[in-house]
């Protein structure tokens, strides 16, 4: 039977891909977004779809709709954007989670939270398993996002214990692909846009900090598998691609794939920027039978094609 599914943050990068996938799988989708970082262009192709509905709404305010499942993705994800109005970022994670959990509780609906590898902060354990409790600076400039997401996880588990809400918590590691906002400030979109314009590629710090990037199609596949996982499996579960590389290597690869004449320039490293990050995905392999299938070069080529089309 066709399910009615609510996606908060549905006009954003990940949310819009999720809308596409769930509609393609014959569901009805209600997309809620306040367009803080999302864009109508990400979902404009869906506006005429008979089973797609768009609601302009800020999830820090109550929302009364009738749905079977909720994916809670609303929250700016790029440091530039989540630091622009840090109080609103915390409100979105915390008050937004309370409202969406209240909705799930009333409806007895399953709810998935888009949490983040940022709950591990600047990790002292590498790669990071779900059991690692993290190293977050609670008063730094990333805290509005990191602590907001940590508190949201607390609320999810307390609604589960106290009110028996059926929860799924997903810790998403860095993801890239089409529909990233070109002005987002995240590293993959910055480097590709800079390379395509033959402008200098901006490396923050010495470029030896590492990340592990997952292509969006793999990530969405993991998200849907988690939502449909067995009763009682709550997570948290890491979803990401364990292939780790430095920002300098990423810059060189983007220059190579675009054939750009850009040179590399170095800018100051932002405060509390994590030195390294790599998911341990044993739990996702075991519980969800999931692992990424698209490697960096292939994913970057697809993403470069997308940005060529919009620049």
**Which partner, ligand NAD, ligand UDP, none, binds residue 204 by CB below 5 to 8 Å per kind?**
ligand UDP
Segment interacting with ligand NAD (CB under 6 A) among 54-62, 157-165, 253-261, 290-298: 54-62
Annotated catalytic residue, options 71, 120, 145, 176: 145
Rg value, the chain, Cα: 19
Segment interacting with ligand NAD (CB under 6 A) among 124-132, 156-164, 169-177, 299-307: 169-177
State yes or no: is 64 an active-site residue. Answer: no
Longest dimension (CA), the chain: 58
Half-sphere exposure (Cβ direction) of 259: Cα atoms closer than 13 Å: 2
Segment interacting with ligand NAD (CB under 6 A) among 62-70, 73-81, 281-289, 300-308: 73-81
Half-sphere exposure (Cβ direction) of 92: Cα atoms closer than 13 Å: 28
Q: Which conformational region is residue 138 in: left (phi greater than 0), alpha (psi within -120 to 50 degrees), or beta?
A: alpha
Q: Which of 90, 113, 190, 303 is the binder for ligand UDP (CB under 6 A)?
A: 190
CA-to-CA distance for 66 and 68, rounded, in angstroms?
7
- Cα–Cα distances (Å) from 59 to 74, 135, 305, in that order, read 8, 28, 33
**Binding residues for ligand UDP, how many (CB under 6 A)?**
23
- Which position has the token pair 């509390």? 272
Q: Which of 81, 150, 171, 211 is the binder for ligand UDP (CB under 6 A)?
A: 211
The DSSP 8-state label assigned to residue 156 in this structure reads H
Our finding on whether 187 is near ligand UDP (CB under 6 A) is yes
For residues 274 and 247, the answer to whether their CB atoms sit within 8 Å is no
CA-to-CA distance for 201 and 191, rounded, in angstroms?
6
CA-to-CA distance for 132 and 17, rounded, in angstroms?
29
Which residues in the 242-261 window bind ligand NAD by CB under 6 A? none
- Cα–Cα distances (Å) from 88 to 25, 85, 101, 120, in that order, read 34, 6, 19, 22
Which residues in the 68-107 window bind ligand UDP by CB under 6 A? 78-79, 98-99, 102-103, 105-106
Which of residues 11 and 203 has its CB atom nearest to ligand NAD in the complex?
11
Between β-strands 244-246 and 210-212, what pairing exists: parallel, antiparallel or unpaired? antiparallel
Which of residues 18 and 201 has its CB atom nearest to ligand NAD in the complex?
18
Our finding on whether 62 is near ligand UDP (CB under 6 A) is yes
- With 0-12 CB in 10 A as exposed, 13-18 as middle and 19+ as buried, what is 231? exposed
Q: Which of 24, 50, 64, 138 is the binder for ligand UDP (CB under 6 A)?
A: 64
**Which partner, ligand NAD, ligand UDP, none, binds residue 74 by CB below 5 to 8 Å per kind?**
ligand NAD
Segment interacting with ligand NAD (CB under 6 A) among 58-66, 119-127, 278-286, 303-311: 58-66
- Give the nearest distance from C-beta 63 to ligand NAD in angstroms: 9
- Give the nearest distance from C-beta 42 to ligand UDP in angstroms: 19
Element (H, E) at 218: helix 216-227
**Which partner, ligand NAD, ligand UDP, none, binds residue 175 by CB below 5 to 8 Å per kind?**
ligand NAD
Catalytic residues: 145
Which residues make up the interface to ligand NAD (CB under 6 A)? 8-9, 11-15, 32-38, 58-60, 73-77, 92, 96, 114, 116, 172, 174-175
Provide the binding-site residues for ligand UDP, judged by CB under 6 A: 62-64, 78-79, 98-99, 102-103, 105-106, 174, 186-187, 190, 202-204, 209, 211, 247, 270, 273
């Amino acid at each position: 039977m066709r399910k009615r599914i609510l996606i908060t943050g549905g006009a954003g990068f990940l949310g819009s891909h999720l809308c596409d996938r769930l509609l393609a799988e014959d569901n009805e989708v209600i997309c809620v977004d306040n367009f803080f970082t999302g864009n109508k262009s990400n979902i404009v192709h869906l506006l005429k779809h008979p089973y797609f509905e768009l609601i302009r709404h800020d999830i820090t305010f109550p929302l009364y709709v009738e749905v079977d499942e909720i994916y809670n993705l609303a929250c700016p994800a790029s440091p530039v954007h989540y630091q622009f109005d840090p109080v609103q970022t915390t409100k979105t994670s915390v008050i937004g989670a309370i409202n969406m959990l209240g909705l799930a509780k009333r409806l007895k609906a399953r709810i998935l939270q888009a949490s983040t590898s940022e709950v591990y902060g600047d990790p002292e354990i590498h790669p990071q398993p779900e059991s690692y409790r993290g190293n977050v600076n609670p008063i730094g400039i990333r805290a509005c996002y990191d602590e907001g997401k940590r508190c949201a996880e607390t609320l999810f588990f307390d609604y589960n214990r106290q009110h028996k809400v059926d929860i799924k918590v997903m810790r998403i590691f860095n993801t890239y692909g089409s529909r990233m906002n070109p002005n987002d400030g995240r590293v993959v979109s910055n480097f590709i846009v800079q390379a395509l314009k033959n402008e200098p590629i901006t490396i923050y710090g010495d470029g030896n900090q590492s990340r592990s990037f997952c292509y969006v199609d793999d990530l969405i596949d993991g998200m849907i598998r988690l939502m449909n996982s067995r009763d009682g499996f709550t997570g948290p579960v890491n979803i990401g691609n364990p292939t780790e590389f430095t920002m300098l290597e990423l810059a060189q690869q983007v220059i190579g794939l675009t054939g750009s004449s850009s040179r590399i320039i170095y800018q100051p490293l932002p405060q509390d920027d994590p030195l390294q990050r790599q998911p341990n995905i044993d739990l996702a392999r075991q519980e969800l039978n999931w692992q990424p299938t698209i490697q960096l070069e292939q994913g970057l080529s697809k993403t470069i094609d997308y940005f060529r089309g919009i620049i």
